[in-house]
Amino acid sequence: MSIGILETGRPAPALASRHGDYVEMAAGLLAAGAPTPLPEVARFAVIDGEFPDSATRCDAWVVTGSRHSATEEAPWMLRLEALLREAVAAGRPVIGLCFGHQILAKALGGRVEPSPFGWQLGLQDYRVVDAPDWLAGLGPTIGLNAIHQDHVSVVPPGARLLATAPHCPNAALVYGKAAISFQGHPEFTRDFERDLLALYGGDTLPADRAGQALAAMEGGGLTADALTIADALRRFIAEK
């Protein structure tokens, strides 16, 4: 089995040198708590136009986060949307993380827009609405790190709402047995989120919201819910 990670963005070099890049974080999430090593992981820098030759090149796909907006409709984004549609049609499991959540929804007929609630930063709680059996173990809420100002405003046909919040109504979606996506970042450790907020607070990010999010951050490593999600995602991939 092989897992293809579609790289749609990169952290600042100062952050990457300490925490790794988004591909490494996604692979780290899938490996977190695993009893055996991950299967082969292949990296495709789609942000640079590096695409697999087929949606069946790998047995499963992960779409990373990005500083870019899915509303930009850059050529590489439109090509990525086509690839995701092909992967879903071919029965290759797809996992979307933040930007990946948005571009997957857009590819499958949903809509992505700037959120009326503005930036969402730091550890956020989402209410679990309807979890499939393979996500057993989730509590009534999940806590994930977040950094986004766009959101999925219209859910694609056939998608089911997994988790929601007042500030992020469509926070996680399940597409039958084909795909799952999260607006939050299960792959972000709390240490990375803190460094990210500290670096961009008062610059790209509003200083007041970044400061509030930083003040509320506790602990280190992945959140407990991210570890539960990691185990579920491995089952999701293996069952295909």
For 92-144, the DSSP string reads --EEEETHHHHHHHHHTT-EEEE-TT--EEEEEEEEE----GGGTT--SEEEE
According to the 3-state scheme, what is the secondary structure of 63-76? ECCCCCCHHHCCHH
Active site residue 218: no
Beta-carbon contacts of residue 99 (< 8 Å; ≥ 6 apart):
8, 9, 63, 64, 65, 66, 68, 70
Residue in this structure with the two tokens 């405003």, named with its chain if needed: 153
CATH assignment at residue 149: 3.40.50.880
Q: Which domain holds residue 202?
A: 2-239
Interval 155-170: pLDDT, tens: 999 999 999 999 999 9
With 0-12 / 13-18 / 19 or more C-beta atoms within 10 angstroms meaning exposed / middle / buried, residue 147 is: buried
Structural domain count, the chain: 1
For 25-45, the DSSP string reads HHHHHHHTT-SS---EEEEE-
Interval 35-74: pLDDT, tens: 888 888 999 999 999 999 999 999 999 999 999 999 999 9
Question: Which one is catalytic: 19, 98, 101, 151?
Answer: 98
Under the banding of pLDDT at 50, 70 and 90, the label for residue 1 is confident
Question: Which one is catalytic: 148, 151, 187, 193?
Answer: 187
- Percent of the chain having pLDDT more than 90? 90
Active site residue 187: yes
Please give the Cα distance from 78 to 229 (Å, whole number).
28
Question: Which one is catalytic: 19, 148, 151, 185?
Answer: 185
pLDDT of residue 137: 80
First to last CA, the chain: 10
Distance, CA of 131 to chain centre: 17
Active site residue 167: no
What does the pLDDT average to over 80-106? 98
**Edge-to-edge, what's the strand order for the sheet holding 40-44?**
40-44, 2-6, 60-63, 94-97, 179-182, 168-175, 160-165, 120-128, 141-148
Q: Is the pLDDT of residue 136 over 80?
A: no
Q: Which residues of 128-145 are buried (b: 16+ CB within 10 A; e: fewer)?
A: beebeebbeebeeebbbb
Asked whether the beta carbons of 79 and 107 are under 8 A apart, the reply is no
